Structure 1
Amino acid sequence: MENDSVLITSRVFFDNKDHFLWYKFPLEYKEFIITGNLDAFLVGLLFLGLERKENIKIKGNVSEKLFYTIRHYLIPALASANSEYVKIDIFADNLNGNDLNKAAIAGTGLSCGIDSFATFYDHIDEKGSFKIDYFTFFNVGSHGDLGGSHARKIYESRLEGIRSFAAQVNKKLITVDSNLSEILKLNFQQSHSLRNISCALHLQKLFKNYFYASAYKLDHFKLNPKDTSDSDFLYLRFLDTESTSFYSSVAQYTRVERTLMVAGYSDTYNYLDVCTNPWENIDEINCSRCYKCLRTQLTLDIAGKLKNYEGVFDISLFKKIKARYIGELLFKKNKSPLDREVLDFMKERNYTIDPEVYFFGIYSLYRINKIIFKKNIKKLFGR
């Protein structure tokens, strides 16, 4: 325990040597941290066991419900999603069937992105144990797949805006740092759901309900070995314990519907952060040219709400590259569900498309086909 924080550590043995997985919490939440159950460590390290095709042996207690659902449902689901996985087993010294929760409140992760904001505002009128009283912000891979000092710097830089928004809406913020990424050494998208839930599982005394923002609407579902976002609606239900329930939040809305919901709250105008380029040296929060920035700006522009976010986007830059982006979107062959949502929204609102959009679209098709042609030629001649 440090002066202002609590460090929870577990010894993890693999590769014939000891490793130490740790999570760091603010000292003020010490009374809510679970120490009797090793649920958080089991969930955090589950992908490591699957990658290594090794059973997991736990020297301590595990929640009875979690132990059951991981063995019977979660591991088979993850093995079905990824043909490289086998159905490993879990062993624990003891199972604990007690409800350890004592605060009976709800929490959710806050990134200041569309999904996390939508989760908060979708629950703003909830009562009792479903009312969001706490935000969380975790360093377990979203700031860099493999962790380390660079990822921690991004985490700390993002934290400034997170803290400010939480204070503005009068909610408490729980930060959690960890070396989980350094131990897993896996792609974050492949394992993000379990990484983040492992942090929340340390706080089962505090959270009766925890909302994890979904990426897609609930009618989009598939077992994807590269991204748990496609199946969070299923996976999260297998991470419940006797003390805490997990929900794939705002899964009833499309991304466009979520964006419109968020745009209805002025508190978000100076905090919206959707960017995939956090290392960019820019004045605004967002780079305004990565695919997430472009999609969000286009949605807001179609809705007539983009000007409200001039403090976080470089709107002049967006206007310069908007035609190219729409052209590429229209002529794109493998459109994602989120791409199709935006295109449907454009049609619904009779959004004006400049003629140059079609030039960029045709050019993007030419460029893609030219690359494919060159690859095929190289294959043909064995180069």
Structure 2
Amino acid sequence: MLSIEKPKLETFGRQTKISAKFTINDKENELYFEVPSDYKDFLVTENLDAFLVGLLFLALKTGNDIKLNGPVSARLYYSIRHYVIPALCMANPKLKPVDINPQGLNEKDLNVAATSGTGLSCGVDSFATYFDHIDESGSFKIEYFAFFNVGSHGAGGEETKKLFESRFEKAKKFANTVNKNIIQVDSNLHEILDMKFQSTNTLRNVSCILLFQKLFKHYYIASKNRFDYFELNDYDTQDYDALVLNLLSTESTNLYSAVAQLSRVERTNLISNFPETYDFLDVCTSSKKYKAGVNCSQCNKCLRTALTLDLLGKLPLYKDVFHIEKYERLKHNYIWHVITNKNKDQIHRNLYRLIKNKKAMDYTKIAISRAKVKLKGR
């Protein structure tokens, strides 16, 4: 049995901690989230929604039924039992279906601020989500960015903390540039789950969002894929966000799989029309090579983004965040990578089409580039 207690708030100056003790297999632990005290009045203590979603994978991994010693959103309870748990277990047959027993169901709308938010990683999808909603008004207008530490920066420890803080500083600078607030959330969720981030990332992020149901009437989570790609798999929960996010919405907060109408190429083209992105685009996955705000320009994600911008004629606009010379050396070798992987997924397929449309398949240059890379590797 996984038993979760009611959440409690503790304020320590500028930081407020919301936490809930839980017991699993007779061992007690605590899941916590730390947020700036400026936002403590928006934290939900009435329901256990955030803690249920955050710990759901732990229950499914261990096969422990969940006992909630407090209320939960009635809508969330219904959706998780009927649809979310079956979907997650279909995606990963190693997970075990469990029952959920709450102390009560809450059908109240807790939202008071009637505003919207989105995450800010400063990547293509993140920027596309913000700029795709820039003309919205009322409760659909994005007024807040959020920045979570629940696994995307590492599995815990000092290095994770250091990377989280350095990335946050860059996101904060962009938020200041566009005159928006940014909410930093730190947590020990990644240490508790001890599972791969990609295979659990959607629920990790949603657990943070559901802390702020009083603030966010709408929350836009940048989608990984366009609508026409959907797959239940045990590798990446983002491949079925279009299904799960609506099911994790509550009476208070609506969750959306944002920019799912656009391909990655279209998203890249969209953000390139906004000068605010030129100094802040951050796509690098190589934390060891990423330095001083400049993308390494040689990992797959850097090369994919740089090539897309190059083919669109927009790469010079991002000269301060890419090593253009490094990219140019690897460009044709990467084009070959895209050609040979064009059927792998939607992202490679769309980039391959762009390469063809721009007539960028120069096989002589590709052969020379591949030969140089092989010689360097010897």
Specify the TM-score bucket, using the shorter chain as the normaliser: over 0.9
Match of 1:309 among 307, 318, 326: 318
5+ residue gaps, structure 1, are: 366-383
Aligned-residue offset at 1:326: 1.0
Which whole-Å deviations, capped at 9, do the CAs of 1:290-336 have from their partners, x for residues lacking one? 11000000000000100111111101100011111112221237522
Q: Residue 4 of structure 2 aligns with which residue?
A: none
| TM-score, reference length from structure 2 | 0.93
Quick check: 1:327–1:359 contact (8 Å CA) kept in 2?
Answer: no
Q: Residue 292 of structure 1 aligns with which residue?
A: 301
Report the residue type matching 1:218 in the other structure. F
Aligned-residue offset at 1:351: 3.0
Q: Residue 270 of structure 1 aligns with which residue?
A: 279
Is 1:54 paired with 2:64? yes
Percent identity between the aligned chains?
48
Distance 2:202 2:293 in 1: 29
Which whole-Å deviations, capped at 9, do the CAs of 1:202-248 have from their partners, x for residues lacking one? 00000000000000001000101111011000010110110000000
Match of 2:75 among 65, 81, 89: 65
Match of 1:86 among 96, 101, 105: 96
Is 1:351 paired with 2:349? no
Could you say if the C-alpha distance between residues 232 and 93 of structure 1 is closer, same or farther in structure 2, counting changes exceeding 3 Å? same
Match of 2:43 among 33, 41, 46: 33
Is 1:43 paired with 2:53? yes
Distance 1:102 1:22 in 2: 24
Q: What is the number of residues matched between the two proteins?
A: 364
Quick check: 1:285–1:312 contact (8 Å CA) kept in 2?
Answer: yes
Q: Secondary structure at the match of 1:34?
A: coil
Matches within 5 A, 1:1-383: 1-144=11-154, 146-280=155-289, 282-332=291-341, 335-351=344-360, 353=362, 355-358=364-367
Task: Output the aligned Cα RMSD.
Answer: 1.7
Distance 1:243 1:138 in 2: 21
349-358 or 182-191: which moved more? 349-358
Could you say if the C-alpha distance between residues 251 and 336 of structure 1 is closer, same or farther in structure 2, counting changes exceeding 3 Å? same
Report the residue type matching 2:99 in the other structure. D
Aligned-residue offset at 1:277: 1.0
Q: Secondary structure at the match of 2:32?
A: strand
Quick check: 1:136–1:175 contact (8 Å CA) kept in 2?
Answer: yes
Distance 2:294 2:184 in 1: 20
Distance 1:193 1:337 in 2: 20
Q: Secondary structure at the match of 2:117?
A: strand
Q: Secondary structure at the match of 1:190?
A: coil
Q: Secondary structure at the match of 1:355?
A: helix
